[in-house]
Structure 1
Amino acid sequence: MTHPVDRIPGTAQLIAGGIQHVAAMYAGVVAPPLIIGAAVGLPPGELSLLISASLFTAGLATLLQTLGVWRFGARLPLVNGVTFATVAPVLAIVKQHGAGDALGVVYGATLVGGALMVLAAPFFSRLTRFFPPLVTGTVITLIGVSLLPVAVGWIAAQQESATGTGLLLAGFTLLAVLAFTRFLRGFAGRIALLLGLVAGTLLAWPLGALDTSTLREAPAFGIAGPFHFGTPVFDIAAIVSMAIVMIVVMVESTADMLALGEIVDRPTEPRTVADGLRADGLATAVATVFGGFAATAFAQNVGLVALTRMVSRYVVAACGAVLVLLGVFPVAGGIVALVPQPVLGGAGLVLFGSVAVSGIRTLAKASFERPANIAIVAASLGVGLIPIAAPEFYADFPSAVRTVLDSGISAGCVTAVVLNLVFGERSTR
């Protein structure tokens, strides 16, 4: 019998499900190029091309990850996008080399980092035996909790406090998603998040909270040519910095694949992890040609799979195809960008909370009759929540250490694995 992950749904479900995934991750995939582009002082036209390049390469990475080619691709419903983990080292490279020469150094380091990930994938995948339900559940819970501040930031539109209009839009969208989930059946119920985003955006129109400038200013067609933003320059210090970040990316991608395996009820084997990491590495290396950045699985889309139960990898492949189109036709991306941030935030509370709930469900498979297991989970969650509660907690640590500890997911994952090795039980997987 064909597993639900490998079933091809109808055309309507493919298109609507793919667009729903794009809506859930769009803000996350355009934010890193916006930050990097601003840091190097790109003019508006070039910045638009940089964003288009990130969308285009994210689409290619998602297609590779879901459909697979030989030993590249986990063949799971994984959406790939630009990882935030590389933003800090990229900004450090910009500061060191200057805005004019920085992108070439960034692409050189990213290219080598992607190649190293491909080579390291089979060795790193063997670490899955260190991820029993006790560890996996803790990491999945941390993924969800770590993403919640992103939703809160969207509600406040990245300001220090939320406005009344922002709270109204977020609250309305949240209630709409819940209502659609509760009362709609079948296919309509599975696209509840997309319907909620549409409802929230429609409400924003009469409230004057709909910014159409991105749609008016977006060119109809545009894609950067090969090495448009700079030919790769290989700087040893930058490569070492990026290689360290790639370890963090592999940890987070592995956690996402393990989480998704639990959600879709198809345990993630070491070979699947290796194939997924190879796809991440290849996509990262290829992205440098078109002006993109390092690729990784997007945890928010793992949450969407958990929320909607649309587990077919072909739905996510449709998302990849849409991303490619958005990259080639920026005006289409402008339509997606119409969704106000508070509307995204309201939906994000449900979306990211669903990831945390999936982690709690996985933790239920572990035995808490052993006091040591309770202590392992408690300590790992505590360490993982430090960067969320106090973002500058590790400000005085060396940059290499901060790269790991500033990510609550990475810090909590490493803590859970180490504590389980010392005090707990290994997986028999």
Structure 2
Amino acid sequence: MTASALTRPGERERLPVKISQLDWRLVGLLCIVAFVGTAMLYSVAGGSWQPWAMNHAIRFGLLLVVMLGLAMLHPKWWFRAAYPLYGVLLLFVLMIEFTPLGYVAGGARNWLNLGFIRIQPAEFMKLGLVLALARWYHSHTAQEARWSWKLLIPTGMIAVPFLLVAKQPDLGSAMVIGLTGAAIMFFAGLSWRVIAAGAAAAVAVIPPFVMFGMHDYQRNRVLTLFNPEFDPSGAGYNIIQSKIALGSGGLLGKGYGLGSQSQLEFLPERQTDFIFSTVAEEFGFLGSFGVLACYIAIILIALRIASLAHSHFGRLAAAGMIAFFAVFVLVNGAMVMGLAPVVGVPMPLLSYGGSSMMTVMFGFGLILSTRVHRYAELPKGNSLI
């Protein structure tokens, strides 16, 4: 019998006991990935802490404290915040589209300018969506989650932010929102027949959507994926340079700070979208495999934490958080390898970016909270409002 099982329920609420229940393996792996990210940002800046590495390290340090603080929160507070947070974030996304506060950056109107700060609501929408879906499924039966007309509600909860974010246009964030929502419906027990029908519908819709529903530059990115050499100095440039960086690293890499693609600035967005290409160039196959191994370990540990939660809300919320983290890793990895179009999805904790790091760290705060309070039970229905 474990020590946690011998601990009386009242004692589990004491702070020292909560701290002892944290999964420090998970915390350590997150620190390792963030350290590698800081080191790579120092490298791509030509051996300088500015303009990226110092900010990256400071942000992670502050958010690490916030993450540990969130881990101390009882799941009932996450449960209570689910619907209000989803509503506020959806309002922010609508404000981008329908008010002058929407701010254009990188060719997409996906920032909200509040005067004293600029935020990217689509990043935080992923967090709100996970919590809202977990709360909805917590209050419904397994049969309703498997197949019922009530599934139109979570489908709509996913579709509305997906369509609004895609319209900005921010195809990368929209893709993460859609895939994360689909993963939660799968974890909740969605019927395999519905999954197969949805997959078939997606395959049927993608070609006409690419041809008629995308902007020209987005369509070029998708079509260039199959033949980047067709436009090597235009739409295919990013993928070609990334492949060169990946291949030139070989087994052991060129050495820290010696990557020609990043140091000579051939590699585009080397501090964000293509930071993993720099890892592969400077540390080779073994170095990039080591980073991916850390990601895989993080995902497996987090899934184990989700499986141990006693409440349905805790299981689904933790599984949903790790789902969007895994989507980040898979999409960015496929993107830099030329297996997916360039859609602006960062590699979590490795790439430079405050909004994405904040969302990831908040998500792991919830996952660790699920670990600390894994014996917590939440009532069915909407009694906690």
TM-score with structure 1 setting the length: 0.26
Higher helix content, 1 or 2: 1
TM-score (norm 2): 0.28
